[in-house]
Structure 1
Amino acid sequence: MGKLSTHVLDTAHGRPAAGVAIELYAVEADSRTLLAQAATNADGRCDAPLLEGSSLAAGRYELVFAAGDYFAAQGVALPEPRFVDRVTIAFGVADPAQNYHVPLVVTPWSYSTYRGS
């Protein structure tokens, strides 16, 4: 059975991003349903998969990362409003039997993602 996981890398400081709040939503048409909330550990990962087994279904999802709050807690001087604040990654799960790893690579000025394994 498949699973959904994530991690966050702080490339501004060259380390995993610990303590980033994350929300996971299922998306259908114009509505979103909160499925899970987590925070990253010292390795920038969640302690458990966000979804796994029968709870991971085919469909559209959004991961929302509180990146701006993380950088503010690190003492980074940020403009108001923040350039990178809440990062939303919208993605689809086509085959829930596979593993979907959706990491965030982030600085106060940029971010990227990719599908890992």
Structure 2
Amino acid sequence: MQQISPSKFKDWLQEAASLGEPLVLDVRETWECQLASIAPEGCDVMIMPMQTVPARLTELDKDRPIACLCHHGGRSMQVGAFLERQGFTQITNISGGIHAWSSEVDPSIPVY
């Protein structure tokens, strides 16, 4: 699984767009997404809390470029590994999660 820092997200987005419509899969809890969230241009964002991923797997395209996001990068790494085991081919983890995104990309995003 590819790892990218939030500061390299735009580069990933450009590369991923050549493979399909990129998706940020935010695997945090709904309350966390209400506190702090991202809406990068050029891709969709889907909120799918980690524990719901197995039941909602059919909502995801196995060949779509997907960047997984969580608070610090641990849950998203686990979800990414799970997706790869299910046959997903274009999985990336945003290392450091939304916490790093706030410090590297957009300081207006609250830190929690």
Same fold (TM over 0.5): no
Which of 1 and 2 has greater Rg? 1
TM-score, normalising length: structure 1: 0.26
TM-score, normalising length: structure 2: 0.27
Greater per-residue strand proportion = 1
Greater per-residue helix proportion = 2
